[in-house]
Structure 1
Amino acid sequence: MAIQTILICDDSPTDLANLKNALEGTNCNLVTASSGEEVVKKAKSEKPDVIFLDIVMPGMDGYAACRTLRDDPETKHIPVIFVSSKQQKADRVWAQMQGAKDLIAKPYESKEVIDKLGAL
């Protein structure tokens, strides 16, 4: 699968910038969102090839956003990779149960983000 558009969602401007910096070398179109509600809307309008999604956010959290994306015929094919400070084994299992392909624990190295992207 050729990845052309990546949707990044995090409510922290710093974490959003860090993830953008990690993905800049991919030459992909980077689209950002700062809430669960916004990531669901942008997933439908931008049709990204992959979504990097924070879990802990006010309002609709990442788990709820992932379930919404998973249950919608328009977005269910888009792989979701959680990027979160939640990193226990139970968090990884729960992330997969919500429909996510993987989970990257914060703090992370840029190489880890690129490697996960390449694994898709």
Structure 2
Amino acid sequence: MSINKVLVVDDSPSELSSIKQIISDAGCMVISASNGKEALDKAKSEHPDMIFMDIIMPEMDGYEATRHLSNDKDTRNIPIVFVSSKSQKADKLWGQMQGGKAYITKPYSSDQIIDQLKAFS
């Protein structure tokens, strides 16, 4: 599967802009959401090939959104990569248990984002 369309979910406008820029520079179309609830709606309507998901967000956090996406027949096969300032081993393990496929800790490098795009292509 090649990665053409990516959903980026983050409540921080600067983080959202930064990740979107990295991904669009890599040649992918980028859609965005600013919380977990919006991410669910966009994932169902836009059918992205991959999702980069923050964890700490208003309305619905990234863990809960990932749980919903992983349990929905229409979205369960979309790889989700967490991008979070939560850096404890327990955070990463919990993310994996919710259905996350990878975990990047903030601050991240553009190479880390690109490596994940390549890993799921």
Calculate the TM-score normalised by the size of structure 2.
Answer: 0.96
Show CA shifts across 1:5-39 (max 9, x none).
Answer: 00000011011011112212221110010111100
- Note the alpha carbon deviations across 1:21-58, whole angstroms, 9 max, x for none: 22122211100101111000000000000000000001
Correspondence 1:23-102 to 2 at 5 A: 23-102=23-102
**1:112 equivalent in structure 2:** 112
Aligned match of 1:21: 21
In the aligned structure 2, how far is the partner of 1:45 from the partner of 1:23? 20
| Paired amino acid for 1:86 | K
Matched residues, number: 120
Q: Which amino acid aligns with 2:73?
A: P
**CA RMSD of superposed structures (Å):** 0.7
For 1:4, the equivalent position in structure 2 comes to 4
Which whole-Å deviations, capped at 9, do the CAs of 1:50-105 have from their partners, x for residues lacking one? 00000000111000000000011010010000000011111111110000001110
| Structure 2 unaligned blocks of 5 or more | none
Counterpart amino acid of residue 41 in structure 2: K
Which ranges of 4 or more aligned residues in structure 1 deviate by more than 2 Å? none
Range 107-116 or range 17-26, more displaced: 17-26
Q: Which SS does the other structure have where 1:74 is aligned?
A: coil
**Matched residues in 2 for 1:80 and 1:34: separation?**
16
State TM-score, norm by structure 1. Answer: 0.97
Q: Percent identity?
A: 52
Unpaired runs of at least 5, structure 1: none
Residue range with higher mean Cα deviation, 101-110 or 22-31 = 22-31
